[in-house]
Structure 1
Amino acid sequence: MSQTISTPSADQQLKAKHRAIWASGDYPIMVETFLLPLGPRIVEASGIAAGQRVLDVGAGNGNASLPAAATGARVTAGDLTPELLADGRRRAAVAGLDLEWVEADAEHLPFEDASYDVVMSLIGAMFAPHHQVTADELVRVTRPGGTIALLSWTPGGLVGELFRMMKPFAPTPPPGVQPPPLWGSEEHLRGLFGGRVDFSTVRRDVLEVTAFARPRDFGEHFKANYGPTIAVRANAEREGRAAEFDAAIDDFCDRWNRGTADRARFEMEYLLTIGTRT
């Protein structure tokens, strides 16, 4: 008797790889060390209020979900990576906040059409590989007249340039996969949403990072804790280029340091975009 053996689709394999990348390292410690201020910023800008149904796409461990829940909103935090959701549940329990945590792919959201008053994403949905599919999903689950709120790293800011620096050391991405920092481009966003969202707020700002004494400590933190950097360095090591990668990230940190040699300061530029679904 013959037996048919099913193999994972290319999309399933890609998403499994993404899960593994974000589960590596320690992204929650990065949130606690310097990313924490971003959550309240997007929640305040979105005007989230008690009683609203809110979806946080690419929620991670709840950097935006938790302050949204603290307003009294009914929050669903969705993320591809179970390990980050588990840490989010822990943080919510400590804070005494009640919200729903759901394993959810930004490109295939498991929610009904027009089911949320506010759909937001804080440096989360931008990392889904197919931008148009992701944007279509964000629009689909937002009710007409509802709010779509995005905070994304910009192409020309620190994180955008970090990805540009790492690209020569990374494996070639599958066809159709787009660079995450494009979400920080106003032109790119308007192309993705195609008149379906009336943007009322489009502004650039920076997250100032002063948590590291020496500039290169910033790079060491990324190499130890940030999934994408861990994955790229591992590829560089497989290719015998680990020392070259380390030197490149040291140079990057020296160039982007806006402080001194013994009191580092970095500015991470982002684009905050708030709009109404038409």
Structure 2
Amino acid sequence: MTTDPFAQFKAVQREAWAIFAPTAAFTTPCAAALVDFAGINRGESVLDVGCGTGVVAITAACAGAHVKGLDLSPALLEFARHNASLLDGEIEFIEGDAEALPYPDAAFDVVLSQFGHMFAPRPDVTIAEMLRVLKPGGRIAFSTWPPELIVGRVFALVGRYLPPPPGAAPPPQWGSPDIIRERLGDAVIDIEFQRDEMRFPTLSPRHYVATMEQTIGPVAKVVATLSDDPARLVQFRRELQELATQSFAHNIICQPFLMTRAVKR
């Protein structure tokens, strides 16, 4: 058996992201945008990688697809199962790793991920797994945060204060079309991109920072790590609030994101 060099890193992620559920509602309209962009059809088999509370999986199921969802966090999967219980039909949600998908080759017509697979440490392993379980002619579609815009810059800030282990790729790289093309390579055809935005209601940039600290695992981890270094914690919060201020207007933080779709050869 091969030992996962990122097992401890993933254990930290599993714990950190458990607090995300209160913010998941803001990702619900984005889920509809991704499902529409992916062109989900009734009867198709769909996998949602990094499904979190199930917003994409459930949206795809409402479009008539047969859906499975996988996430690293058992806490978020409990929310996903509860959300799915309000629907007719069944969605199978299981705990699992995007770098080791527990499904056979060519099992799905569509593989989706909304701000999920991008946090797996090894992009080459992750994309190989997502394409492995996708049927030839099937579609892969995902949403990611561009590195030059607010959420990508937030995660870059987090990485400066709490660097990932050596060999782990920064999540915002998944928001660069050039890098996406390189990672998908010639395993796919017909790559298309589309931008959209998440509108995050908040009373002020300071309120936004407080919400991030309470619901976004990596941000909460930085705050906890800096608890014994008050000066650096003040600086981190100041920098985070400055980023939020640049995107704040009319009690909304506009968070643009990138959607990618491609067809497996």
TM range (shorter): over 0.9
Structure 1 residue aligned with 2:23, among 30, 36, 50? 30
Q: CA deviation at 1:230?
A: 0.2
- Contact 2:202–2:253 (CA under 8 A) maintained in structure 1: no
Cα-to-partner distance string for 1:41-89 (whole Å, 9 max, x where unaligned)? 1111111122111000001011100010112211000111111111100
User: Is 1:266 equivalent to 2:253 in the alignment?
Assistant: yes
* Distance in 2 between residues matched to 1:166 and 1:49, nearest whole Å: 38
Opposite residue 13 of structure 2, the aligned amino acid is H
Preserved CA contact (<8 Å) 2:106 2:135: yes
Q: 1:9 offset after TM fit, Å?
A: 5.4
Structure 2: distance between partners of 1:99 and 1:168: 38
Question: Structure 1: which amino acid aligns with 2:138?
Answer: G
After TM superposition, give the deviation of residue 188 of structure 1 in Å: 0.8
In the alignment, the residues of structure 2 paired with residue 208 and residue 71 of structure 1 have an alpha-carbon distance, to the nearest angstrom, of 23
CA distance in 2, matches of 1:186, 1:89: 33
1:206 Cα offset (Å):
1.9
Q: Which amino acid aligns with 1:42?
A: L
1:60–1:88 contact (8 Å) kept in structure 2: yes
Specify which of 234, 245, 259 is matched with residue 236 of structure 2: 245
User: Which of 9, 12, 15 pairs up with 1:20?
Assistant: 15
After superposition, give the CA deviation of every residue in 1:229-252 in whole Å (9 maximum; x if it has no partner).
101111222444222222222222
Write the mapping of 1:84-233 to structure 2, written as runs, cut at 5 A. Answer: 84-170=76-162, 172-209=163-200, 211-233=201-223
Q: Is the 8 A contact 1:70 1:97 kept in 2?
A: no
CA deviation profile, 1:131-180 (whole Å, cap 9, x unmatched): 1110111110100000101111111111111122233321x321110110
TM-score, with normalisation over the residues of structure 2?
0.94
Amino acid at match of 2:24: V
Query: Contact 1:106/1:134 (CA < 8 Å) preserved in 2?
Result: yes
Normalized against structure 1, the TM-score is what?
0.90
* Structure 2: distance between partners of 1:16 and 1:123: 18
State the Cα deviation string for residues 184-238 of structure 1 (Å, max 9, x = none).
11111111111111134212222223x1122221111101111111011112224
Deviation at 1:104, TM superposition (A): 1.5
1:157–1:269 Cα contact (<8 Å) kept: yes
Higher Rg:
1
In the alignment, the residues of structure 1 paired with residue 207 and residue 234 of structure 2 have an alpha-carbon distance, to the nearest angstrom, of 16
Check whether the contact 1:199–1:273 (CA below 8 A) recurs between aligned residues. Answer: no
Contact 1:66 1:97 in 2 (8 A): no
Matched, 1:49 2:41: yes
Corresponding residue of 2:60: 68
Matched, 1:256 2:251: no
Deviations 1:237-278 (A, max 9, x none): 244422222222222222222x1xxx3222212111111001
125 and 174 in structure 1: CA distance in 2 versus 1, 3 angstrom threshold: same
Q: CA RMSD in A?
A: 1.5
Q: Which runs of 5+ in 2 are unaligned?
A: none
Q: Count matched residues.
A: 262
- Structure 1 residue 97: Cα displacement: 4.4
Q: Distance in 2 between matches of 1:191 and 1:164?
A: 21
* Paired letter, 1:13: Q
Flag as ranges the 4+ runs of structure 1 deviating above 3 A. none
